[in-house]
Amino acid sequence: MRIYKALVTDKNELISFSEQREIFLLIHDTNKDQSSQYLDQMQALLDEMIARGYNTKNIGGLIRDANVLQSIKKYDAVLLNYNKIKEIYDLANLASIKISEITNLINAAGIEGIATPNAKRLLSLANLAFGRGEYALALERLGEAELTLSVETKGEFNWFVFLQNNFYQVMGFIIAVIIGLYLVYLLVHYLLIKRKIKSLDAEADLLLLLIKGAQKNCFVSNKMSIGEYYDALEQFEERMSRVSEGIIEYKSKKGNLFKLSPNTKRLSKEKAEILTLVRETQKDYFDKGTIEARIYETRVKSLTKRLSEIEEAIVVNRVIRTERKTKGVKKLFWRVFYKLFK
């Protein structure tokens, strides 16, 4: 505050007076340029909300008030209006995102056959509040809808709808599991066959040792009579024939285990191997004379028996094959199958 004093002369008269003035200094946090920028940003937010289809009923009034405040130099008040508009804008965007997310979750639950009536009702209320521009209320309803949806879908699962919606994926998984189990079965079967062949080979070696031992006891040590020798030899040879048949059979199974071929082909291969063994036995008896008559007869008898069983099985398989190719609704399938796997 300042006081001024002076003397004024009027017709040689002195008049004294005094004057008092007060000076106020106002300091603003926001200057004029910043306030103008806030006005521009408010208009940009309004335009963006209009473009997105949001309700802007309160935004226009706040912008008009801000322009008035700008004109009377209340810049801080302009900033307050900007903050209000920015808050409304952020709430609107957040509510819009939440509506889309919850809508997608409800639709996904519906696709899986899960009913969510309460969540749908709350979502409808949220949409109504959003349409009125009450974004804070809309977010509140959306929070309730989200919580309700989690309760309604917790532990719910519709197998029928799941299979219907994911049929090809489920079928692919089932086929993969079946193929995997089949491969495991083949592997286990292969190991068992391999073990069986090893066991039969060991038994064959043991039988040969027993035959040699019987021959030594009979012809060298004279610990065994001829009759006892032939009886033992007959038993050994009979068992040896069965072991030989088993080795041929299991080796045939082993060779065809991983091949997609009809059973007839496997039997034919086994038949050829037995015929080869018969010829070798005949050669040993007639040409080389390395085996005795009784041993020869026992071995050939055993091999012939197995050969008859194989030929019978081949005939049965061929009859079945012919019937499959000519009768029934699956005949086309069997024709293609036997064409591919001859």
Average pLDDT, integer, range 260-265? 70
How would you write 25-73 as a 3-class SS string?
A: CCCCCCCHHHHHHHHHHHHHHHHHHHHCCCCCCCHHHHHHHHHHHHHCC
Range ranked top by mean pLDDT from 3-12, 45-54, 263-272: 45-54
Query: Residues 111, 114, 115, CA angle at the centre, nearest 5°?
Result: 110
Percent of the chain exceeding pLDDT 70 equals 85
For helices 263-282 and 293-326, angle between their N-to-C axes, nearest 10 degrees: 160
Closest C-alpha among 30, 98, 92, 101 to residue 66: 30
- Does 298 have pLDDT greater than 60? yes
Q: Is 7 helix (H, G, I), strand (E, B) or coil?
A: strand
Side chain identity, residue 217: N
- DSSP letters spanning 170-207: HHHHHHHHHHHHHHHHHHHHHHHHHHHHHHHHHHHHHH
Query: Residue ranges per domain, the chain?
Result: 32-157, 192-314
| Averaged confidence pLDDT in the chain | 81
pLDDT of res. 24: 52
pLDDT of res. 217: 87
pLDDT of res. 341: 58
Task: Kindly give, in sequence order, each residue whose CB lies less than 8 Å from that of residue 155, ignoring residues fewer than 6 positions away.
Answer: none
CA trace torsion 81, 85, 91, 93 (10° rounding): -160
pTM score, whole prediction: 0.50
Look at 9-18, 125-134, 293-302 and tell me which has the smallest mean pLDDT: 9-18
Task: Kindly give, in sequence order, each residue whose CB lies less than 8 Å from that of residue 103, ignoring residues fewer than 6 positions away.
Answer: 123
**pLDDT tier at 338, thresholds 50, 70, 90:** low
Q: Are 58 and 87 in contact (CB under 8 A)?
A: no
**pLDDT tier at 158, thresholds 50, 70, 90:** low
Task: Kindly give, in sequence order, each residue whose CB lies less than 8 Å from that of residue 42, ignoring residues fewer than 6 positions away.
Answer: 59, 62, 63, 66, 81, 82, 85
**pLDDT tier at 104, thresholds 50, 70, 90:** very high
- DSSP letters spanning 97-150: HHHHHHHHHHHHHHHTT---HHHHHHHHHHHHHHHTT-HHHHHHHHHHHHHHHH
Q: Are 82 and 41 in contact (CB under 8 A)?
A: yes
Per-residue tokens: 240: 């040896």
**pLDDT tier at 13, thresholds 50, 70, 90:** low
